[in-house]
């Protein structure tokens, strides 16, 4: 049985060393004035050495952390009522980098922030960004829309929330990936739905994901004018991320810590995290490897007749019986894995089985919103028309 993995926290600087850093920085900054760093509508303070509270203006000020490694951003200049509207439509909390990236794009193109990266990178901000842009107000009866199906591509599991789209030919898109609906995202992933179900991890914030995409684009571009434009955007994005304290690494410490809790990779490769106690209760392995399960699925899909297909379904039916036993013994992760693999395979032949396994698994794991999302997605799973706000 695969366990949940331990939580090993990376070591930090010693107390004496940290105190020395604080004292040194305090001497250098204690007589300095607040510096106004206008970037995407956000003002930041120069140091955290001041203990006197500073009043907030419309453009919120924040204090940069003393240690660069632990730099923390301030709150982005996005009205609280607009934040509540976004999160009420999706019933999911959005991380602060989501809002900071919006103000960053406002700095690039104040009139059309969502399209600020279209000409240079071929990227467009969508999904919850459509609400920040007010696009939902232009759609009649938008209140009745299921926003968790808005820009939900064919292979997107409930854990994935699209925020940026790219090449429509491959259906490239970026999105937040979270293990539970009541938690913040654990990373930003990318997928090309026209190709496969694979989710590639690209940092733990949207600045990192776009930076990695931009660096790849720079290697492909040969035109000097286009290269110059990309480098300019890269400089602005890198500076913004550093000022705000966002990592630009593809694999952060936080993401590596999550890897230790992943019980199985699944077909999409991003992995599943479920609670596993010290007695290894919470997950048990499927009796089939990923390779053998893929062969079983292929046999079912390619069966020459319904009779042959029904016969080929026998191993899946057997695994579903094992899942029932596992659920009785609180190993809910097994059903989640089997259901997710069948969903990721993509064939409509598995929609009914996935529709039985996944909602049950999510509800048992108390991830009820994910259960609702997968039920709605399977009921209207389309390779086209993923923009719910399209006219």
More confident residue, 103 or 17: 103
CB 333 within 8 A of CB 364: no
Residue 16 has pLDDT above 80, yes or no: no
Cβ-contact 272, 261 below 8 angstroms: no
How many whole angstroms separate alpha carbon 333 and alpha carbon 337?
A: 6
Are 157 and 117 in contact by the 8 Å Cβ rule? The answer is: no
Percent of the chain with pLDDT over 90: 75
- H or E segment and range at residue 272: strand 272-273
- SS3 state at 44: strand
Q: What is the mean pLDDT of the chain?
A: 85
The answer to whether the predicted template modeling score (pTM) of the entire model surpasses 0.85 is: no
Whether the Cβ atoms of residue 171 and residue 382 lie closer than 8 Å to each other = no
pLDDT at res. 143: 62
The catalytically annotated residue of 239, 249, 329, 372 is 329
Contact call for residues 110 and 133 (beta carbons, < 8 A): no
Active site residue 329: yes
DSSP 294-360: HHHHHHHHT-SSHHHHHHHTHHHHHHHHHHHHHHHTT-THHHHHHHHHHHHH--GGGHHHHHHHHHH
Record the tokens describing residue 92, joined without a space: 């999911």
């Amino acid at each position: 049985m695969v366990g949940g993995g331990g939580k090993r926290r990376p070591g930090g600087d010693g107390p004496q060393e940290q105190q020395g850093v604080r004292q040194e920085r305090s001497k250098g900054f204690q007589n300095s004035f607040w510096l106004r760093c206008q970037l995407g509508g956000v003002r930041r303070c120069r140091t955290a050495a001041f203990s006197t509270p500073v009043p907030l203006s419309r453009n919120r000020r924040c204090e940069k952390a003393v240690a660069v490694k632990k730099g923390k951003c301030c709150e982005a200049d996005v009205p609280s009522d607009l934040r509540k509207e976004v999160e009420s439509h999706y019933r999911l909390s959005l991380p602060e980098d989501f809002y900071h990236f919006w103000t960053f794009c406002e700095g690039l193109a104040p009139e059309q922030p969502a399209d600020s990266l279209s000409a240079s990178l071929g990227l467009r901000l969508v999904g919850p960004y459509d609400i920040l842009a007010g696009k939902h107000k232009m759609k009649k009866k938008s209140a009745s829309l299921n926003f968790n199906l808005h820009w939900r591509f064919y292979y997107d599991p409930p854990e994935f929330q699209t925020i940026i789209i790219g090449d429509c030919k491959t259906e490239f898109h970026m999105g937040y990936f979270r293990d539970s609906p009541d938690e913040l995202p654990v990373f930003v992933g990318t997928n090309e739905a026209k190709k496969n179900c694979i989710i590639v991890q690209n940092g733990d914030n949207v600045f990192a994901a776009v930076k990695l995409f931009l660096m790849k684009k720079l290697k492909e571009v040969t035109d000097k004018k286009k290269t110059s434009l990309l480098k300019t955007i890269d400089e602005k994005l890198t500076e913004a991320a550093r000022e705000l304290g966002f990592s630009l690494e593809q694999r952060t410490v936080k993401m590596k810590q999550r890897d230790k809790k992943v019980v199985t990779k699944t077909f999409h490769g991003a992995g599943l995290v479920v609670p596993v106690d010290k007695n290894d209760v919470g997950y048990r392995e499927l009796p089939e490897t990923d390779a053998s399960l893929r062969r079983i699925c292929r046999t079912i899909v390619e069966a020459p007749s319904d009779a042959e297909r029904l016969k080929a379904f026998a191993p899946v039916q057997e695994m579903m019986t094992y899942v029932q036993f596992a659920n009785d013994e609180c190993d809910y992760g097994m059903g989640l894995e089997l259901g997710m693999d069948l969903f990721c395979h993509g064939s409509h032949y598995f929609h009914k089985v996935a529709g039985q396994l996944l909602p049950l698994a999510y509800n048992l794991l108390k991830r009820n919103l994910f259960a609702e999302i997968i039920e709605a997605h399977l009921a209207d799973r389309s390779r086209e028309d993923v923009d719910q706000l399209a006219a």
